[in-house]
């Protein structure tokens, strides 16, 4: 878009004709996602003037969209060091009157290609906890290649974990974690699998190295603390 604007020496046509665009979106009941082309593509550039100036403009466009009867989502940065995430979420939500906020990741370091789904999960967990409403799934292939089916699966599951971690704080949603803690205490393996975000993966790991005693895992075996406690303490009391 910038290349087109420079080549033609003209304003962004979507911005210039924004009110007409809103008419089309309203007619077809489309929710507008206000993107941020000036977001940081590396943690070194996070929270710079270009990003904040674009946020100001997007906040103004969100107001115009609301006045025209079009729902909006405001997109946030993609690469942010961990100590700037809270400030980004707070500024974004405050400037846009608490509109739904979409955090693109964020990736909190740039030196882990092949593991960017994990890097993004760290940023997404914090973003969600601080108030982001929507996070972006990232695959292990990010910055390297188009993702295949396995990359997509890995990315989606990792994003689900990140969203849950954030919801534990933002929504105080910890019931499933409490249930998992009790299932582990009681060594109820089927309950643990049912509560797991990826039951198939949990079952696969368990089946690949099952211990001789079906009640314990292979980490501690006969010296399992939970097993010893159950043998010596009446937990029901």
CA distance 128 to 207: 34
CA distance 121 to 158: 6
Please tell me the predicted confidence (pLDDT) of residue 116. Answer: 97
Share of the chain above pLDDT 90, in %: 77
For residue 215, pLDDT beyond 80? no
Please tell me the predicted confidence (pLDDT) of residue 225. Answer: 83
For residue 24, pLDDT beyond 80? yes
- What is the number of other CB atoms lying within 10 angstroms of the CB of residue 164? 17
- DSSP labels for 10-67? ---HHHHTHHHHHHHHHHTTPPEEE--TTS-SSGGGTT-HHHHHHHHHHHHHHHHHHH
The confidence band for 232, taking pLDDT boundaries of 50, 70 and 90, is: confident
Please tell me the predicted confidence (pLDDT) of residue 229. Answer: 81
Classify residue 222 by its DSSP letter: G
CA 185 from chain center: how many Å?
Answer: 30
The confidence band for 192, taking pLDDT boundaries of 50, 70 and 90, is: very high
Query: Which is nearest to 114 in space by CA: 148, 151, 157?
Result: 151
Query: Which is nearest to 93 in space by CA: 103, 107, 83, 84?
Result: 103
Q: What integer is the mean pLDDT of 39-55?
A: 93
- Domains, the chain, ordered by start: 31-173 (3.20.20.540), 186-232 (no CATH)
Q: Collect all residues with Cβ–Cβ distance below 8 Å to 217 and sequence separation of at least 6.
A: 206, 211, 224
User: Across all residues in the chain, what is the average pLDDT?
Assistant: 92
Please tell me the predicted confidence (pLDDT) of residue 186. Answer: 86
Q: What integer is the mean pLDDT of 159-172?
A: 94
Q: What integer is the mean pLDDT of 142-163?
A: 96
**Comparison of pLDDT for 77 and 119, the residue scoring more:** 119
For residue 180, pLDDT beyond 90? yes
Share of the chain above pLDDT 70, in %: 100
**Comparison of pLDDT for 47 and 237, the residue scoring more:** 47
Q: What integer is the mean pLDDT of 207-212?
A: 84
φ, ψ (nearest 5 deg) of residue 78 = -115, -30
CA distance 47 to 22: 29
Please tell me the predicted confidence (pLDDT) of residue 214. Answer: 76
For residue 27, pLDDT beyond 90? yes
- The per-residue pLDDT for range 75-117, each reduced to its tens digit, is 988 999 999 999 999 999 999 999 999 999 899 999 999 999 9
Q: What angle do CA 197, 201, 206 make, to 5 degrees?
A: 115
Please tell me the predicted confidence (pLDDT) of residue 231. Answer: 82
- Bridge partners for 103 per DSSP: 135
CA distance 26 to 68: 8
């Amino acid at each position: 878009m910038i290349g087109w604007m420079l080549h033609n020496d003209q304003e962004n046509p979507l911005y210039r004709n924004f009110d007409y665009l809103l008419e089309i979106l309203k007619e077809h009941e489309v929710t507008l996602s206000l993107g941020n082309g000036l977001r940081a593509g590396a943690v070194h550039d996070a929270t710079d003037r270009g990003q904040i100036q674009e946020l100001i403009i997007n906040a103004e466009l969100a107001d115009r969209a609301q006045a025209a009867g079009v729902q909006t989502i405001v997109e946030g940065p993609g690469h942010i060091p961990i100590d700037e995430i809270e400030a980004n979420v707070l500024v974004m939500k405050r400037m846009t009157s608490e509109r739904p906020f979409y955090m693109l990741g964020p990736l909190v370091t740039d030196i882990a290609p092949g593991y960017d789904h994990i890097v993004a999960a760290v940023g997404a967990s914090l973003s969600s906890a601080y108030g982001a409403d929507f996070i972006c799934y990232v695959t292990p292939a990010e910055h390297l290649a188009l993702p295949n089916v396995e990359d997509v699966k890995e990315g989606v599951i990792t994003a689900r974990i990140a969203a849950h971690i954030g919801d534990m704080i933002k929504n105080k949603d910890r019931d499933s974690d409490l249930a998992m803690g009790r299932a582990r205490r009681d060594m109820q393996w089927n309950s643990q699998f049912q509560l797991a975000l990826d039951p198939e993966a949990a079952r696969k790991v368990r089946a690949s190295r099952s211990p001789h005693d079906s009640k314990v895992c292979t980490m501690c075996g006969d010296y399992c603390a939970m097993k010893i406690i159950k043998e010596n303490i009446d937990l029901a009391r």
